[in-house]
Structure 1
Amino acid sequence: MNCLVLASPTAKHIGSASYYDNGLVVGNKSYWPKRTVLGRVLGGMQNPKSAYGWIGPVPASAGFPTGWILLNVGRVNF
């Protein structure tokens, strides 16, 4: 995804991701790695699209700015 962002003239200003599990929000769409918690949840949506380990485009949550997003989550013991 870093390569696509840096190769796109309209998204180049976003820059590269700081961490391998960053998600990307562009406008009202978002893209998330499959291995992240949010990627696994959004992968359960009806007819999700997936390519090269990324889920998206899926709807972006309100309040996320455009750019790379890192979610901090903790392990839940059941």
Structure 2
Amino acid sequence: MRTGTTALIGALVAILGAAGWYAYQGLIVPGEPMPRDGYIALTIGVVLSIIVGAGLMALLFFSSRRGYDEPPTFKDED
């Protein structure tokens, strides 16, 4: 592997480790449970994220089937 690739993989693994450590620390800290409004906001965010993802996938398949992803071709005016 080249040096740049190794550095990129190392940086991504470090970021993943930091995110995992942060999530673990958030889980083990004692405190108050999440209020009902928090669960409602979390549910709305998850549902909207799934809807946006499904819409983007539908757009991807629509544009692929209609030929919008093909490179343009120019016609001669002879």
- Tell which has more relative contact order, 1 or 2 (C-alpha 8 A, sep 6+): 1
Same fold (TM over 0.5): no
Aligning the two structures, in what range does the TM-score lie when normalised by the shorter sequence?
under 0.3
**Larger helix proportion, structure 1 or 2?**
2
TM-score between both structures, scaled by the size of structure 1: 0.21
**Larger strand proportion, structure 1 or 2?**
1
TM-score between both structures, scaled by the size of structure 2: 0.21
Q: Which has the larger radius of gyration?
A: 2
